[in-house]
């Protein structure tokens, strides 16, 4: 048994070094780090976190919701940026312009879209119509 009266400098150094060695050991063997792709989803997702009895939270899983909308189901007046970008001839910049103009008021017809959005040519509008893109939800599916 170790008695406080029998401690010398050697014992004191050993007692001081034990926590330091444990700290070095834990620093050399850290828990596995997750890659950013494992925890940051590309789109809408459900993150499942589990909690055990030791008060530890763990990432149980990520369920991504990458449901691509078909081009013929896109409605210009209600579509998100990603849905607009899936349409032929619409890139990121044009999709942003459509959403910006749509925030002021919805597009009444294809001519209104052409007049208000810079870069929407008649050819692009015809390509959108041929792909089945609708301007409003109540428009008929076949816009030709």
The domain spanning residue 124 has which CATH number?
1.10.150.280
Q: What pLDDT shows up at residue 61?
A: 76
Whether 3 has a pLDDT exceeding 90, the answer reads no
Sorted by sequence, the CB contacts under 8 Å of residue 116 that are 6+ apart come out as 101, 107
For position 85, what pLDDT does the model report? 87
Residue 46 in any domain: the answer is: no
Please check whether residue 126 lies inside any domain of the structure. Answer: yes
- The total of structural domains in the chain comes to 1
Label residue 106 by pLDDT band (50, 70, 90).
very high
Is residue 78 pLDDT above 70, yes or no?
yes
For 91, the domain range is 71-131
pLDDT in tens, 29-48: 777 777 666 666 555 667 77
Is there a domain that residue 47 lies in? no
- Residue 115 domain flag: yes
Q: What is the rounded CA–CA span in Å between residue 120 and residue 109?
A: 13
Q: Does residue 141 belong to any structural domain of this protein? A: no
Whether the pLDDT of residue 107 is over 90: the answer is yes
Q: What does the pLDDT look like over 55-73, one tens digit per residue? A: 778 777 767 665 566 777 8
CB atoms within 10 A of CB 125: 19
Q: What's the pLDDT at 7?
A: 67
User: Which ranges of the chain would DSSP assign to H, the alpha helix?
Assistant: 9-28, 36-39, 81-85, 92-104, 110-116, 122-131
Q: Distance between CA 117 and CA 102 in Å, rounded?
A: 10
In a domain, 55, yes or no: no
Return mean pLDDT, the chain: 80
CB 68 within 8 A of CB 56: no
Q: What share of the chain is helix, strand, coil (3-state, %, to 5)?
A: 45, 10, 45
Euclidean distance between CA atoms 72 and 24, whole angstroms: 60
DSSP 134: B
pLDDT reading at 2 higher than 60: no
pLDDT mean over 3-19: 73
In a domain, 19, yes or no: no
**2 in a structural domain:** no
pTM higher than the cut 0.85: no
């Amino acid at each position: 048994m170790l008695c406080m009266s029998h401690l010398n400098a050697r014992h004191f150094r050993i007692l001081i070094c034990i926590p330091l060695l444990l700290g070095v050991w834990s620093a050399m063997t850290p828990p596995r780090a997750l890659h950013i792709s494992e925890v940051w989803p590309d789109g809408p997702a459900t993150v499942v976190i589990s909690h055990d009895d030791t008060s530890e939270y763990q990432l149980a899983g990520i369920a991504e919701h990458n449901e691509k909308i078909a081009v013929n189901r896109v409605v210009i007046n209600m579509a998100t940026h990603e849905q607009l970008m899936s349409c032929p001839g619409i890139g990121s910049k044009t999709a942003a312009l459509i959403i910006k103009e749509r925030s002021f008021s919805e597009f009444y017809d294809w001519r209104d879209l052409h007049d208000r959005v810079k870069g929407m040519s008649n050819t692009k509008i015809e390509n959108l119509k041929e792909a089945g893109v609708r301007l409003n939800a109540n428009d008929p599916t076949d816009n030709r």
